[in-house]
Structure 1
Amino acid sequence: MQLLLNRKSVMKYTLDTQAARQANTTGRITETGAYTGIFTKAKKVVSQKGVIGIEFSFKDEFDNSADYLTVWTVSKDGNQTYGYKQLMALMTCLRLNEIASQSGLVEEYDSVAKQAINVSAEVYPALMNKQIGVLLQAEEYEKSTGEIGQRMNLFGFFDAASRLTAVEILDKKTSPEVLDKMLGSMQPIKKLKNTKQAGVQVNSSNFDNEIPSWV
């Protein structure tokens, strides 16, 4: 909102609580916790090793975002992975019985142009632009360069309005109890174990997009 100033008159301000919340934010989600918002992107991805998954971009209610949130759902052998269970939990929280990918456009960051551009992709419209609660875990990972980076990872989902988790929705519960327990089990930053190098520089860029070695 633009403020029209008359420098000779008394200046008054009305409390804007949303602006107050945004005062110390960076535009990116970097802290472990529970967030409500929407998925602005849900894109089908296939790794170089043939593992199928869905890559998400999430924007919270204050326009802070987290990108490259990927759940790997089906292995190259056609077996379900843990990410498949995560996807089923997400679909439950969104009350979706089925989803299918279709051709569409998504906004992606172009490292050459150094800006976001629209690109063609296989997307899941049913997962996008709907209110959802997500648990995001900050975690370390080792880059191909040997440096330690930091990224956000999808830990769980809940209904944005009721705060019920998938199991509570399926069990027809009305009072949310599981979410607080899940939050209590999360770490401020999940440290990388058995790191080959110590004391390397941490890069917390949200554009780090390296695929885990097992995928």
Structure 2
Amino acid sequence: MNSNVIFTYNQEDALAAGQSGFINESGAYVITIAEAKLGTSESGAKFIEFSGDTDDGRKVNYLSVYSTKKDGEVNKFGYNMINAIMGCAGVMQLTEKMISVSHFIAPEFTGKRVGLVLQKTLKTKSNGSDTYSFDIRIPFFADTRQILQEKIDGAAPVAIDNILSTLKDKDERRQLGQSSQGYGYQQATNNDDAPF
């Protein structure tokens, strides 16, 4: 009786068993951008939402960087971040391409490799359960680990390791019994357009 081989052992794949298929920790990652989706929040703020895959095959989604506030004014933090990502990815300009009626992308980012330091932010969902998201702290050149300033200056890549040495998760979870209205302010992050 003949038997056909249907599976061949792969040690690398075996070691990956049990690991998440998604990035789930703060850190520095080299990402190949699958898509840079252009969007507008319900309040009117404009953003670019990045998704992609790390060099080790894990996925990252919903990395949003807001370029304008809800009143149409430039969000300087987000605007600077998008320019830094463009510089580190070797993208000189962005255009808008319609994929479907309500789906637009910046095609120049597709397939580009870029390093990103991501900070995990712990949050509380409206139903009280825990969740998390990631904020982009700083981009870097995928092949050299230099941030943009280091590349321009011809300096050694030390900034990323310095940032990683103190990088911790941000905890924005609501504590039990804490008023959901807070204290009348919200902290602005690169993916939170609410204060604008």
TM-score range, shorter chain: 0.7 to 0.9
Q: 1:150 aligns with which of 132, 155, 171?
A: 132
One-letter amino acid matched to 1:85? N
Deviation at 1:197, TM superposition (A): 2.7
**Partner AA of 2:111 in structure 1:** N
Q: Percent identity?
A: 25
Letter in 1 for 2:21: G
Does residue 128 of structure 1 match 2:140? no
Kindly state the Cα deviation for residue 48 of structure 1 after the two structures are TM-superposed.
1.3
Encode CA deviations 1:53-98: one digit per residue, 9 max, x unaligned.
1011121122211211100111123223311111111011012221
So what's the TM-score if we normalise by structure 2? 0.78
1:160-179 deviations in whole A, cap 9, x for unaligned? 11111112123233x21111
Partner residue of 1:191 out of 137, 161, 171: 171
C-alpha spacing 1:154/1:146, structure 2 compared with 1 (3 Å)? same
CA distance in 1, matches of 2:134, 2:94: 24
Q: Is the 8 A contact 1:90 1:166 kept in 2?
A: no
The question of 1:85 aligning with 2:80 is answered yes
Question: What does residue 59 of structure 1 align with?
Answer: 53
| Cα distance in structure 2, aligned partners of 1:138 and 1:198 | 24
Counterpart CA distance in 2 for 1:213 and 1:125 is 27
Opposite residue 128 of structure 1, the aligned amino acid is T
> Is this contact kept in 1: 2:66–2:193, CA < 8 A?
no
- Determine the structure 2 residue equivalent to 1:202: none
Once residues 127 and 134 of structure 2 are traced to their aligned partners in structure 1, the CA distance between those partners, rounded to angstroms, is 19
SS of the equivalent of 1:179 reads helix
The correspondence of residues 97-108 of structure 1 with structure 2, limited to 5 A, is 97-104=92-99
Cα distance in 2 between the residues matched to 1:33 and 1:72 = 21
Amino acid at match of 1:170: I
Equivalent residue of 2:171, what SS? coil
CA 170–180 in structure 1, closer or farther in 2 if over 3 Å, else same: same
Q: Which runs of 5+ in 1 are unaligned?
A: 6-11, 106-118, 200-209
Equivalent position SS for 1:74: coil
Aligned to 1:4: 5
Find the aligned partners of 2:68 and 2:162 in 1 and give their Cα distance: 28
Shift of 1:145: 3.3
Letter in structure 2 aligned against 1:197: L
> In structure 2, what is the Cα distance between the partners aligned to 1:159 and 1:99?
19
Distance 2:58 2:49 in 1: 17
- In the alignment, structure 1 residue 169 sits paired with structure 2 residue 160: no
Query: Is the contact made by 1:139 and 1:150 (CA closer than 8 Å) also made in structure 2?
Result: yes
Runs of 4+ in 1 over 6 A off after TM superposition: none
Shift of 1:146: 4.1
Q: What's the TM-score, normalizing by structure 1? A: 0.72
**Distance in 1 separating the partners of 2:137 and 2:75:** 18
Amino acid at match of 1:88: N
**What is the rounded CA distance, in whole Å, between the counterparts of 1:73 and 1:21 in structure 2?**
40
Q: How many corresponding residue pairs?
A: 179
Give RMSD over aligned pairs: 2.7
Structure 2: gaps spanning 5 or more residues:
179-190
Query: Per the alignment, do residues 150 and 51 of structure 1 end up closer, same or farther by CA in structure 2, a change over 3 Å counting?
Result: same
User: What SS does structure 2 have at the residue aligned with 1:35?
Assistant: strand
